A and B are shown apart, each in its own frame.
Chain A
Amino acid sequence: MEPVHARCAAFARGLCRSSADGDDLYQEALLRAFTRLDGLRDEGAFRTWLFRIVVSVHRNHVRRAWVRRWSPFHGDDAAGDGAARADAGYRASDWSPEAAEAARRARQALAMLPAVQREAIAMFEIEGMLVDEIAAVQRVSASAVKSRLARGRERLRAHYEGGRIDDAIPEAVPGDST
């Protein structure tokens, strides 16, 4: 459990709008994993199994968030500011403001993606997992994962190009040829 713990927690944090939300999601996934541990037949596939549970819990959260959006009893939770404040406690002391801003931009852009693409991008880009491993977690073919990665990447690009976060882009970007 311990070797997978840190990576899985990081993956959950990458999926959410803040690290605190990610920890809540991961905690819920852990509880579910413990209650269903008897159902794990192949111990070698533990990592895939745990990631799969995180993905399942994440999709439940996305569905609930969609319902809450239409509910008159839930106002805007000011996710942006609240998340930024919450994340401050999760960073190392030498964490630069530029890096924090970059992470915030990435979270904001990832939040625009459909859940399946967000999961694929987070596993591939943040966790460095292989396409076959992602396919096993998402229970789809490798080509489907490649397609999700390409489409997700395209949406991220479109989001960055759309000007919604242009104000936050730093002046000097390495390799900027414009």
Chain B
Amino acid sequence: MSRTTIDQLVSSDLAALGREARGRVSALDAMLPDEPVRRDRATLLELANEYADGAASAVWGAISLAFVTSVLVLTVVQDVPSFQGHERWGDSWFFFWLNSMDDSMRPCWLFAFALVCATAGRKLAARRCAALIGASPNPDETARRLAARIAPWSIALRTAGITAFGVYFAVAIAFHTTMLSQPPLWHWLMSDHYMFVFWSQWHVHDVARFRDLCLAWAAIVAASVWVARRRPPVLRGRAVGWSALGVALLAIRAALWLGSPTPAIASGPVPDFHAVRTLVTAIGAIALFVAVASSSLRRSPTEERAPS
């Protein structure tokens, strides 16, 4: 075919496409529902999404909290031979697995486990939400009630879990530098998980550190429940959250900086040097709590939404 013929064919095909495209265009109202209807649908979807996200956050928080709690409990069990469960714990496969040096993928397994649980939780929550909304004569009200019901759990568990996890490792890292001739703790986190668990537990074995951690754990859980119940508006501010995160990072860095090499102190009274570092770490922990609580509150804006 000649160039002219091809050009004519292209033009006629495009004209046919134009005619087809202009045919049977739906009315504007049919393509775009009324403003209130659209807003209601958007709100419904937003609430359903909030419920599923809340469930996933709660699962993440619960697993983080369970991890830190189990480390603290296991430290006690491991150190007290007179404890009833000591023998059973020592012979269990979990103890063997936790302390074996073969499995370098252990942190990945833990993370994968948490990820699978959170994904499954989100899926189940989404399915339940869809079923309840579908069966309800008043879907908006049902969705709003579901979102309001999950919000306190999500806020409390997420805040407590993430903060406890952060504080545990902040304490372990901040007080590690008392050890001479040892690389920083995150070196072990990257290269050898067994050594990481070993050294972090070694620091937790310090009586004062263990006591501080238990106190911090209790305070974090209690404060998280308080935040979930009261939801103070001042914490919702984005500036508050980010500033607190900055303070937390600076404080942990300062605690590290204060930890110049000194002989290890495994027990006994806490000297002044440690007292300063404990104070700085405590400030970091409080700031971290504020940052996480602020983030959790911003993720659950149920109370701010006006009822329909």
Contact = CB atoms under 8 A, between A and B. Distances in A.
B138 interface: no
Given A156-B10, A173-B5, A106 B17 contact: yes
B272 interface: no
A34 B35 CA distance: 9
B4 A177 contact: yes
B18 A126 contact: yes
B5 A31 contact: no
Nearest to B32: A30
B230 interface: no
A11 B8 CA distance: 21
Interface in B8-60: 8-26, 28, 31-32, 35, 38
A169 interface: yes
B6 interface: yes
Contact of B21 (A2, A30, A126): A126
Interface residues of A, number: 47
Interface in A4-30: 5-6, 9-11, 13-14, 19, 22-23, 26-27, 30
Given A6-B25, A176-B5, A121 B14 contact: yes
Interface residues of B, number: 31
Interface in A90-143: 90-92, 95, 99-100, 102-103, 105-107, 109-110, 121, 125-127
B10 A109 contact: yes
Instruction: Summarize A's interface: helix, strand, loop or mixed.
Output: helix
Contacts of A175: 4-5, 8
Contact of B31 (A11, A30, A103, A176): A30
A157 B21 contact: no
A125 B11 contact: yes
A9 B25 CA distance: 7
Nearest to A126: B18
Most B CB atoms within 10 A — which of A102, A153, A161?
A: A102
B9 A99 contact: no
Given A160-B6, A175-B5, A10 B11 contact: no
A22 B5 contact: no
Interface of B: 1-26, 28, 31-32, 35, 38
CB-based closest 6 A-B pairs: A102-B16, A106-B17, A106-B13, A13-B21, A126-B18, A10-B21
